[in-house]
Amino acid sequence: MSETTETIFSKIIRREIPADIVYEDELAIAFKDVHPQAPVHILVIPKQPIKSLVDITSGDRDLMSHLLLTAQQVAINAGLNNGYRLVINTGNDGGQTVSHIHLHILGGRQMTWPPG
Ligand code: DGP
């Protein structure tokens, strides 16, 4: 995982590269994952470039709550009435490849457990 906070996601926020954006407000943005792992695969990210879940503090409490509520609303808007999976890959062992914290919303098929 890269140590820089400037990632491809910062470029998406600034509209420097295209993305299929499905939601945006002053704190967060949600867009379709470029490599979907399910019929619905949307990423919810803060505009603030926090690297990973490891880096959040109690000062990020409101922001993290906002991201969860945003994910809930985005899932509703995507029609995921039968459930979905919310994933935050964290660090190398967690499989995180982009160093800008993001919530994966995966849905539209039956999820399996355990994940790979
Ligand atoms: P993770 O492995 O948890 O760090 O997930 C990063 C996700 O970001 C991965 O599922 C693919 C997605 N992704 C990477 N680059 C881009 C991009 O340029 N555009 C979009 N829409 N998604 C991207």
Q: What CATH number is associated with residue 70?
A: 3.30.428.10
Q: Is residue 29 part of a domain?
A: yes
Tell whether 20 is covered by a domain.
yes
Which residues span the domain enclosing 36? Answer: 8-107
**Residue 51 placed within a domain:** yes
Angle at alpha carbon of residue 71, lines to 101 and 98, rounded to 5°:
20
Mutate to test the pocket of ligand 1, among 6, 35, 106 (most ligand atoms within 8 A of CB): 35
With respect to residue 27, please indicate whether it lies within any of the assigned structural domains.
yes
Give 10's contacts (C-beta < 8 A, 6+ positions apart). 49, 100
Of all protein residues, the one whose alpha carbon is nearest to atom 1 of ligand 1 is: 96
Q: Pocket around ligand 1: residues whose beta carbon is below 6 Å from it? A: 8, 19, 31-35, 43, 89, 95-98
User: Looking at residue 103, what DSSP letter applies?
Assistant: E
**Predicted confidence (pLDDT) per residue in 22-79, tens digit:** 999 999 999 999 999 999 999 999 999 999 999 999 999 999 999 999 999 999 999 9
- Annotation marks residue 66 as catalytic: no
Residue 83 pLDDT class (50, 70, 90 cuts): very high
Indicate yes or no: pTM above 0.75. Answer: yes
Q: What is the pLDDT of residues 2-38, one digit of tens each?
A: 445 689 999 999 999 999 999 999 999 999 999 999 9
Would you say residue 1 has pLDDT above 60? no
Question: Which of 42, 98, 102 to probe ligand 1 with, by most ligand atoms within 8 A of CB?
Answer: 98
CA–CA dist 116, 3 (Å, integer):
25
- Looking at residue 2, its pLDDT comes to 41
Q: Is residue 112 part of a domain?
A: no
Number of domains making up the chain: 1
User: Does residue 50 sit within a domain?
Assistant: yes
Residue 79, in any domain of the structure: yes
The answer for residues whose C-beta is within 8 angstroms of residue 4's C-beta and 6 or more apart is: 99
> String of b and e for 31-70 (b: at least 16 CB within 10 Å)?
bebeeeebebbbbbbbbebbbbbeeeeeebeebbebbeeb
Q: Is residue 116 included in any domain, yes or no?
A: no
